Amino acid sequence: MRTWRKPARPQVTPSPNIWHWPEVYETENRAQDCTGALWRALRERCDWAGLDVVDIGCGDGFHLPLFAATARTVIGIEPHPPLAERARHRLAATPGADVRIAPAQQLPLADASADLVHARTAYFFGPGCEPGLAEAERVLRPGGMIAIVDLDASRAPYGDWMRADAPQLDPDAIEAFFQRHDFDSVSVDTLWRFDDRESLQAVLGIEFSAKTAARATHETPGCTIPVGYRVRTRRKPTGLLRA
């Protein structure tokens, strides 16, 4: 007789920034994509108005109200309980919104229950994220889309600072991985705009080592940073594929 056992919870790698400095990360979120280029790119590929959205690695829920403004429902998935509580507080007066504590590899969602699965700089960093991709595919309805928004480590200046701290980053290998998994990828250029130099320095200080943060501050004369992203999308087939 076989005994059912609950699957082991995947090990979650702590986020080096928002887990420890959520208030500074709030400043970062407010500065990011001040041109709206990322949101335009996402809507061009999947307009979520009236649809069911899942945001994986939602952190403290910064992006959830933007989805909830037009989506039918939005569910944030966050593995770190303190951040999930902050997200729930943010969404307290938002109808059709929910936050659940779980890793990307074990989504607490029914099969074929979402139209858009979104992840922004969370978990899906190339080789090794296959379990999360499989879960995203499972919860998507036929015709639904997974959209992964990542920083582009090949684009200066931000990508240069990323590789200075993480020389193992290989943008070409990451791109090849997503091509093998049938994603369409586009480059999106946008700006981070801060209210003052102090805010900019604080954000760089949680994103990089002290040495690289000092370099980044020196190489940024004002309060804006040009940042490149890759927006990767894959639509779930609506029927049987023929050879």
7 pLDDT higher than 80:
no
Asked if the model's pLDDT at residue 97 lies above 70, the reply is yes
Instruction: Give 43-79 pLDDT, tens digit per residue.
Output: 999 999 999 999 999 999 999 999 999 999 999 999 9
**Closest to 53 (Cα-Cα) out of 69, 75, 33, 38:** 75
Report pLDDT for 6: 46
Q: Is the pLDDT confidence value at 242 over 70? A: no
Give, as one character, the DSSP assignment of residue 56: E
For residues 66 and 43, give the distance between their C-alpha atoms in angstroms, rounded to a whole number. Answer: 12
Q: What does the pLDDT read at residue 15?
A: 87
CB-based contacts of 219: which residues, under 8 Å, 6+ apart? 157
The reported pLDDT for the residue numbered 4 is 33
Dist. CA 156–CA 6, nearest whole Å: 45
Question: What pLDDT score does 16 carry?
Answer: 87
* pLDDT tens by residue, 146-183: 999 999 999 999 999 999 999 999 999 999 999 999 99
Residue 240's pLDDT is: 54
Dist. CA 1–CA 204, nearest whole Å: 56
| Residues present in the chain in total | 243
> What pLDDT shows up at residue 243?
42
Q: Which residues make Cβ contacts (< 8 Å) with residue 143, sequence separation at least 6?
A: 115, 235, 236, 238
* Per-residue confidence (pLDDT) for residue 3, from 0 to 100: 39
pLDDT at 121: 95
Q: Report the candidate in 161, 165, 160, 158 with the shortest Cα–Cα distance to residue 226.
A: 158
Pairwise CA distance, residues 114 & 136, whole Å: 9
Q: What is the mean pLDDT of residues 127-152?
A: 97
Residue 9: predicted pLDDT: 67
Considering only CA atoms, which of 77, 53, 64, 56 is closest in space to residue 144?
Answer: 53
| pLDDT greater at residue 184 or residue 6 | 184
Instruction: State the Cα–Cα distance between residues 188 and 155, nearest whole angstrom.
Output: 10
Task: Give the pLDDT band (50/70/90) at residue 91.
Answer: very high
Q: Check residue 207 and give its pLDDT.
A: 98
In the predicted model, what is the mean pLDDT of the chain? 94
Q: Taking a C-beta distance cutoff of 8 angstroms, is the pair 214, 220 a contact? A: no
Using a pLDDT cut of 90, give the percent of the chain over it: 90
Q: Which pLDDT belongs to residue 5? A: 43
pLDDT at 1: 40
State residue 8's pLDDT score.
64
Question: Distance from first CA to last CA of the chain, Å, rounded?
Answer: 42
Q: Minimal CA–CA distance to 126: which of 166, 171, 168, 185?
A: 171
What is the structure's pLDDT at 13? 79
Beta-carbon count within 10 A of 187 CB: 12
